[in-house]
């Protein structure tokens, strides 16, 4: 999704894709393993700056790039915080950012102690590799994470936060320090996966100012370059607690492609190229983004375009994959407009053509 703004701005973009036929194939593409330092170094030889669309590039590969004199954004030290949830919690706690109660636990006994202190239920997370609800589990018994402990390594345990809703604050920051914040958005999760995003977050009072100040502080303290997504809980007493961080364009920012003057993908390109950041202002009072998940039938979004486009000519449609896999995000739709209820209804009507 960085290709369209790169084409518009006339910035050369090269992609190191995991496999032939992946979504990234449209751009000048190499195919190779991002975990192999030699592969990544060879790919990087002709570029000015390297960035990522996920956080999983190993630190030894990042170190090899930096050692070869290649600009890497976000930098390895910042990315390390997004790569490991225990590192993230430690760093956020160290800078005094609001996080749920948490502990690093090495076994069932420690989990039992945490459960006893937190009403008998808690969230256990694997430090690495989780996404879209994977690697996250609610437990109510000290034996509830035995399989993960058996797989080795410590786990993160957190209090089950009593929240009103989930929010997301995205900011972008350049190496030279400039930072810009998009409006705070509300995110609706289903089965651990982002389902809908309302931009800006409705009825948010003073939360936007607090959320953007918090995200900017995190970006600065952690020296984040590029887009930083701060996923937040709005607690039942009106507070904010940080759920997760991501250092890349993020699903909760997809609304900005069609709903903001500068999309998160254009902004990420500007930021990692150390170009002045664009205006993140919305282009309409409301934008609503709805994810499309692959269904069991396997019809692609494109095959369903005729009916969806005929019914909703004003909704923007995005398809990522040629093949639909059950439960996998295969695209999204975005509606914009003046009345929130109307925008939600139009986005849902469009999304419905691609579901089931």
- Positions in the binding site for its own copies (CB under 8 A): 1, 3-11, 13, 25-28, 180, 257, 261-262, 270, 275-279, 281, 283-284, 300-302, 305-306, 309-310, 313-314, 316-322, 331, 336
Instruction: Decide: helix, strand or coil at residue 267.
Output: helix
The residue among 70 and 284 lying less far from its own copies, judged by its C-beta, is 284
User: Which of 193, 284 has the CB closer to its own copies?
Assistant: 284
Report, in Å, the least distance between residue 42 CB and its own copies. 21
DSSP reduced 3-state for 244 = strand
Neighbours of 49 (CB within 10 A): 16
Nearer to its own copies, 83 or 319 (CB): 319
Cβ-based burial of 239 (10 A; exposed 0-12, middle 13-18, buried ≥19)? middle
| Residue 335 CB, nearest approach to its own copies (Å) | 10
Could you tell me if 99 and 93 are in contact, meaning their C-beta atoms sit under 8 angstroms apart?
A: yes
Angle at 183 (CA atoms; ends 178, 188), nearest 5 degrees: 130
For the bound state, the minimum distance from the C-beta of residue 172 to its own copies, rounded and expressed in Å, comes to 12
State the Cα torsion 20-22-26-29 to the nearest 10°.
Answer: -50
Closer CB to its own copies, 90 or 328, in the complex: 328
Place of tokens 């930072």: 179
DSSP state of 53: S
Pick 1 or 349: Cβ nearer its own copies:
1
Rounded to a whole number of angstroms, the minimum distance from the CB of residue 186 to its own copies is 22
- The 10 Å Cβ neighbour count of residue 176 is 10
CB of 12 to its own copies, least distance (A): 8
126 or 336, CB closer to its own copies?
336
Q: How far is the CB of 24 from its own copies (least distance, A)?
A: 10
């Amino acid at each position: 999704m960085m290709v369209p703004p790169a084409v518009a701005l006339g910035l050369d973009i090269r992609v190191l894709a995991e496999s032939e036929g992946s979504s990234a194939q449209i751009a000048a593409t190499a195919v190779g393993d991002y975990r192999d330092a030699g592969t990544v170094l060879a790919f990087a030889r002709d570029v000015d700056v390297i960035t990522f669309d996920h956080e999983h590039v190993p630190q030894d590969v990042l170190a090899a790039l930096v050692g070869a004199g290649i600009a890497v954004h976000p930098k390895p030290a910042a990315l390390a915080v997004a790569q490991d949830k225990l590192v993230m919690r430690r760093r956020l706690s160290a800078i005094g950012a609001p996080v749920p109660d948490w502990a690093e636990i090495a076994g069932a006994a420690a989990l039992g102690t945490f459960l006893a202190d937190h009403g008998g239920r808690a969230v256990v997370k694997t430090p690495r590799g989780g996404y879209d609800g994977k690697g996250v589990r609610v437990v109510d018994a000290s034996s509830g994470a035995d399989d993960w402990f058996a797989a080795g390594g410590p786990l993160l345990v957190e209090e089950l936060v009593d929240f009103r809703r989930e929010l997301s604050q995205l900011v972008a920051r350049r190496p030279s320090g400039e930072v810009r914040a998009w409006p705070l958005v509300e995110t609706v999760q289903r089965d651990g996966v982002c389902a809908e995003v309302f931009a800006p977050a409705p009825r948010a009072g003073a939360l936007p100012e607090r959320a953007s100040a918090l995200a900017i502080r995190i970006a600065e303290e952690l020296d984040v370059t590029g887009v930083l997504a701060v996923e937040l809980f709005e607690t039942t007493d009106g507070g904010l607690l940080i759920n997760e961080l991501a250092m890349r364009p993020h699903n909760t920012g997809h609304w900005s492609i069609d709903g903001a003057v500068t999309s998160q993908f254009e902004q990420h390109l500007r930021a990692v190229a150390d170009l002045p950041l664009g205006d993140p202002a919305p282009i309409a009072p409301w934008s609503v983004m709805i994810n499309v998940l692959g269904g069991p039938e396997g019809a692609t979004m494109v095959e369903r375009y005729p009916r969806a486009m005929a019914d909703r000519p004003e909704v923007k449609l995005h398809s990522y994959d040629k093949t639909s896999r059950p439960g996998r995000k295969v695209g999204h739709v975005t509606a914009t407009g003046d009345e929130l209820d109307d925008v939600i209804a139009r986005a849902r009507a469009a999304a419905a053509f691609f579901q089931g």
